[in-house]
């Protein structure tokens, strides 16, 4: 055994490790390299899987009939920081009340007429709506309509698990009492709002971003130049302070006009996209990934990427990214092709 190996072994026995082993092979010039590759989930596969789960499981067996988008290198999660997947609630079913430190969002993709109650307020759920359940808000779901509803659930679970700070709690009954009128937050958080409403905590208030409003905004901005890397990009902001959707994740809706293709950029946040409408492609590190309505895919951090619409109608991409985490600590970096 040479002297270096001897030293390494002596250190290891004392639970010590030398710098030369910590940075082994890395040197002083380096940049991020994601631990996972881009992944795509085609709607026909997700839809068939969720239908099969609908035939196989009751909510008594599964608590939530949720199927996650799993990236192979990460085993149980979608990106290293976020989890996304599809949830089915059949007519008459209740997904029981609970709460957790994990922050979550729902984006409705099929069906409608259901509701999510968050901290006593019922929020109607219609296609294209985004509903937030920020950390530690009580939430349960009920489908009182005659047709199944499918929405995407997105959450910051993987990041929270890395911090080992997760708590969860079941409500004493299946559903919490409805203590606030339907959509009360729309009025409390309107541009002209009551004097007693103000930002009191780091968590935003639970909120429903109605598709009707989002769609109107997109069409009003349809002739504007937009963002060179993302087209017409809307961010779903905290209605109280204009900050990100949740402290950990930013949700976005972006519209690519027919024939539009964006410039390439890369950044240290990762994104999960869902094609709400239309068809097109995303080029990641030179590789073209085709998508159409219902598909979902990831763009891992620090990969060059651009998007394009190859259809005749506007393409609408719903996105969730972990940029707020990076921004909070000054870790966010971005590089773009010259405009
Ligand atoms: Fe939950
Ligand atoms: Fe991007």
CA of 267 to the centre of ligand 2 (A): 7
CA of 193 to the centre of ligand 2 (A): 34
Please report which ligand is nearest the Cα atom of 131: 1
CA of 175 to the centre of ligand 1 (A): 13
Please report which ligand is nearest the Cα atom of 63: 1
CA of 141 to the centre of ligand 1 (A): 10
CA of 139 to the centre of ligand 1 (A): 7
Report pLDDT digits (tens) over 44-72.
999 999 999 999 999 987 889 999 999 99
CA of 40 to the centre of ligand 1 (A): 25
Please report which ligand is nearest the Cα atom of 264: 2
**219-233: average pLDDT:** 96
- Read off the DSSP letter of residue 269: S
Torsion 215-145-275-249 (CA) sign: positive
Report pLDDT digits (tens) over 126-144.
999 999 999 999 999 999 9
Residues 199/201/202/207 CA torsion (nearest 10 deg): -60
Order of strands across the sheet that contains 130-133: 66-68, 83-89, 149-155, 104-110, 130-133, 208-209
Given a cut of 80, whether residue 250 has pLDDT beyond it is yes
CA of 153 to the centre of ligand 1 (A): 9
Which residues touch 309 (CB under 8 Å, ≥6 apart)?
256, 257, 258, 259, 260, 261, 278, 279, 280, 315
Percent of the chain with pLDDT over 90: 94
Report pLDDT digits (tens) over 283-307.
999 999 999 999 999 999 999 999 9
Please report which ligand is nearest the Cα atom of 227: 2
CA of 302 to the centre of ligand 2 (A): 9
Which residues touch 25 (CB under 8 Å, ≥6 apart)?
none
**Domains of the chain, first to last:** 40-336 (2.60.120.10)
Please report which ligand is nearest the Cα atom of 334: 2
CA distance 123 to 184: 9
pTM metric for this prediction: 0.96
Given a cut of 90, whether residue 333 has pLDDT beyond it is yes
**7-17: average pLDDT:** 97
Using the CB atoms, write b or e for 36-52: b if 16+ within 10 Å.
Answer: bebbebebeebbeebee
CA of 102 to the centre of ligand 1 (A): 8
Given a cut of 90, whether residue 25 has pLDDT beyond it is no
Q: Are 306 and 278 in contact (CB under 8 A)?
A: no
Given a cut of 80, whether residue 339 has pLDDT beyond it is no
CA of 56 to the centre of ligand 2 (A): 38
Alpha helices in 80-210 (DSSP H): 157-163, 184-188
CA of 68 to the centre of ligand 1 (A): 14
Given a cut of 90, whether residue 338 has pLDDT beyond it is no
Residue 1 confidence (pLDDT) = 78
- Under the banding of pLDDT at 50, 70 and 90, the label for residue 87 is very high
* Structure-block tokens of residue 184: 């009360």
CA of 271 to the centre of ligand 2 (A): 8
- Under the banding of pLDDT at 50, 70 and 90, the label for residue 114 is very high
Please report which ligand is nearest the Cα atom of 305: 2
CA of 149 to the centre of ligand 2 (A): 30
Report pLDDT digits (tens) over 154-207.
999 999 999 999 999 999 999 999 999 998 999 999 999 999 998 888 999 999
């Amino acid at each position: 055994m040479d002297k270096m190996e001897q030293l390494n072994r002596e250190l290891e026995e004392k639970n010590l490790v030398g710098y030369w082993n910590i940075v082994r092979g890395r040197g002083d010039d380096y940049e991020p390299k994601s631990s996972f590759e881009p992944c795509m989930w085609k709607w026909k596969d997700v839809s068939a899987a969720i239908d099969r789960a609908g035939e196989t499981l009751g909510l008594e067996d599964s608590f939530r009939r949720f199927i996650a988008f799993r990236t192979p290198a990460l085993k149980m999660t979608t990106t290293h920081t976020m989890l996304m997947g599809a949830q089915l609630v059949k007519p008459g079913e209740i997904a029981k009340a609970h709460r957790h430190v994990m922050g979550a969002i729902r984006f409705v993709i099929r069906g409608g007429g259901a509701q999510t109650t968050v901290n006593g307020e019922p929020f109607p759920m219609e296609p294209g709506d985004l509903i937030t359940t920020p950390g530690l808000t009580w939430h349960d779901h009920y489908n009182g309509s005659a047709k199944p509803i499918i929405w995407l659930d997105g959450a910051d679970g993987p990041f929270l698990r890395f911090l080992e700070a997760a708590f969860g709690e079941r409500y004493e009954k299946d559903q919490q009492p409805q203590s606030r009128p339907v959509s009360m937050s729309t009025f409390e958080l309107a541009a002209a709002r009551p004097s007693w409403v103000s930002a009191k905590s780091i968590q935003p208030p639970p909120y429903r971003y109605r598709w009707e409003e989002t769609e109107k905004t997109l069409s009003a901005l349809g002739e504007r130049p937009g963002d060179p890397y993302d087209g017409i990009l809307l961010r779903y902001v905290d209605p109280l302070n204009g900050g990100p959707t949740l402290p950990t994740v930013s949700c976005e809706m972006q519209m690519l006009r027919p024939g539009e293709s964006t410039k390439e950029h890369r950044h240290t946040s990762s994104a999960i996209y869902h094609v709400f409408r239309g068809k097109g492609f995303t080029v990641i590190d030179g590789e073209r990934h085709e998508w159409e309505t219902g598909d979902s895919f990831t763009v891992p951090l620090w990969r060059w990427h651009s998007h394009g619409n190859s259809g005749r109608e506007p393409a609408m991409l719903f996105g969730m990214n972990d940029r707020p985490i990076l921004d909070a600590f000054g870790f966010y970096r971005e590089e773009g092709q010259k405009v």
